[in-house]
């Protein structure tokens, strides 16, 4: 019997070690997000309603049907979900997403916010719209959802959010690439930090165009309906290859028409899409700047501003 127990313990240890560090930490609870959940009473009169749920890695597809891909593109690790209720019967749902890096958490925050809500002093940046709150801090993205717009529900959202914020010690600023967008004329809340094609196509639909295998990107809205995208490729060689591939795609695609009279000192290529929107491309060092607007003059002006 003693021999059997020793073999059982040895096999369990081998299985644990063979599963890798992520599985080992999850098994011992070292990486559990439950420690960030506010306890009963920590958020005024709000208490936990039911047990929390946790999902990690590919299991996110079980929790978010049809919307997990964008989290995975940015770099998802795990999420914990906990509902809260107050004595009046109002409910708030809390989600704490842990992403791989602070940049990933910031990117998901910019992707999920609308830019039309109210800025709230939670985490490193937060936005409340209707009964929906998002904020990010360190590697964490926190989302709180109410079920009505009553004052009591909004107070609960902010109270639970504040209690979570107090539990997260990490703090980091936005990625350096954000500073590549000119501040003059940038619409508040329009900035999006991008890590892949899913997020990029949400800003402008390039679909599966070649030459868009960037390392990171950022986009923002400006006056006259203009948009500026800055795609960083990491090296000048990768940028040259991307410009060549994307340029050939745009020139050959039926969706775009190449314009005459390009300005080589500013633009690599200028085209107009099927909806009459003008695109101008400008390559600088490791970055590709793409201006999108209602006419060629707006696009060129936006690119000139970015080139300064």
- Residue 288 falls within a domain, yes or no? yes
The answer on 163 and 36 residing in a single domain is yes
**Lowest-pLDDT range, 42-46, 59-63, 94-98, 138-142?**
42-46
183 shares a domain with 297: yes
Q: What per-residue string of b and e applies to 16-53 under the rule 16 or more CB within 10 Å gives b? A: eeeeeeeeeebeeeebebeebbbeeebbeebeeeeeee
- The mean pLDDT of 115-139, rounded to a whole number, is 96
In the chain, how many domains are there?
A: 2
Domain containing 36 equals 32-167
Q: Is residue 8 part of a domain?
A: no
Q: Mark whether 161 and 36 lie in a shared domain.
A: yes
* Same domain membership, residue 242 and residue 139: no
Domain end marker among 148, 167, 186: 167
Residue-wise pLDDT for 165-221, tens only, equals 999 987 799 999 999 999 999 999 999 999 999 999 999 999 988 999 999 999 999
- Considering the domain architecture, whether residues 163 and 71 belong to the same structural domain is answered as yes
In a domain, 1, yes or no: no
77 lies in the same domain as 195: no
pTM of the model: 0.87
Residue 275 lies in a domain: yes
Question: 95, 51, 84, 96: which is closest to 153 by C-alpha?
Answer: 84
In this structure, the answer to whether residues 146 and 234 fall within a common structural domain is no
Residue 5 in domain: no
Same domain, 196 and 103: no
Does 149 share its domain with 261? no
Cα separation values, 209 from 1, 67, 97, 148, 252, Å: 64, 22, 30, 41, 11
What is the CATH classification number for the domain harbouring 258?
3.40.1000.70
Query: What is the pLDDT confidence band of residue 267, given thresholds at 50, 70 and 90?
Result: low
210 and 94 belong to one structural domain: no
Average of per-residue pLDDT values in the chain: 88
């Amino acid at each position: 019997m003693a021999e059997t127990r020793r073999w059982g313990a040895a096999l369990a240890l081998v299985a644990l070690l063979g599963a890798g560090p992520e599985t080992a930490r999850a098994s011992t609870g070292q990486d559990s997000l439950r420690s960030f959940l506010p306890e009963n009473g920590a958020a005024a009169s709000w208490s936990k309603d039911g047990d929390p749920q946790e999902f990690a890695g590919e299991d996110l597809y079980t929790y978010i049907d049809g919307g997990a891909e964008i989290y995975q593109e940015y770099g998802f690790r795990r999420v914990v979900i906990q509902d809260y209720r107050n004595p009046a019967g109002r409910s708030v749902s809390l989600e704490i997403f842990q992403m791989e890096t602070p940049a990933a958490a910031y990117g998901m925050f910019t992707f999920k916010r609308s830019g039309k809500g109210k800025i709230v002093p939670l985490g490193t940046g937060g936005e409340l719209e209707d009964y929906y709150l998002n904020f990010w801090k360190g590697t964490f993205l926190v989302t709180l959802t109410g079920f009505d717009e009553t004052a009591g529900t909004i107070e609960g959202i902010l109270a639970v959010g504040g209690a979570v914020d107090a539990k997260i010690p990490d703090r980091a600023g936005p990625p350096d690439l954000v500073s590549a967008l000119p501040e003059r004329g940038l619409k508040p809340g329009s900035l999006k930090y991008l890590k892949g094609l899913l997020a990029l196509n949400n800003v402008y639909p390039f679909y599966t165009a070649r030459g868009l295998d960037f390392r990171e990107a950022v986009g923002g809205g400006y006056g006259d309906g203009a948009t500026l995208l800055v795609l960083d490729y990491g090296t000048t060689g990768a940028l040259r290859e991307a410009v060549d591939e994307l340029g050939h795609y745009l020139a050959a695609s039926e969706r775009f028409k190449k314009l005459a009279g390009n300005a080589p000192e500013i633009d690599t290529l200028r085209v107009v899409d099927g909806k009459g929107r003008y695109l101008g491309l400008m390559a600088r060092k490791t970055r590709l700047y793409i201006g999108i607007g209602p006419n060629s003059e707006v696009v060129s002006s936006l690119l000139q501003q970015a080139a300064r």
